Amino acid sequence: MEIHHPERLDAHILLGIVNERLRLSCDNLGELEEDLGISGAQLEHKLGAIGFHYLPEQNQFRREGE
């Protein structure tokens, strides 16, 4: 599935896509940035607004405390 404007997606939909890509094809946030064509800072901002943050040791966006 190609995403043309990930920054325009609803944050919850973006979260699902991002975590799926991290699980299946991207080994880290840098690879995900290249894959989606969006900066990690943009992802952190958009997903942080709904309470999710990137955890490098788990290679996924999760809520704090999960």
Look at residue 24 and tell me if it is in a domain: yes
The total number of structural domains in the chain stands at 1
Q: Which residue do the tokens 């880290």 mark?
A: 28
Q: Please state whether the predicted TM-score (pTM) of the whole model is above 0.75.
A: yes
- Provide the residue count of the chain: 66
Cα–Cα distance for residue pair 6/66, rounded to 1 Å: 25
pLDDT-based confidence at 1, cuts 50/70/90?
A: low
Predicted confidence band of residue 25 (pLDDT cuts 50, 70, 90): very high
Whether 43 is in a domain gets the answer: yes
29 is in which domain, residue-wise? 8-63
Which of 39, 3, 7, 45 shows the shortest CA–CA distance to 20? 3
- Whether 64 has a pLDDT exceeding 80, the answer reads no
Is residue 3 a part of any domain in this protein? no
The yes-or-no verdict on residue 33 having pLDDT over 60 is: yes
Q: Is residue 53 part of a domain?
A: yes
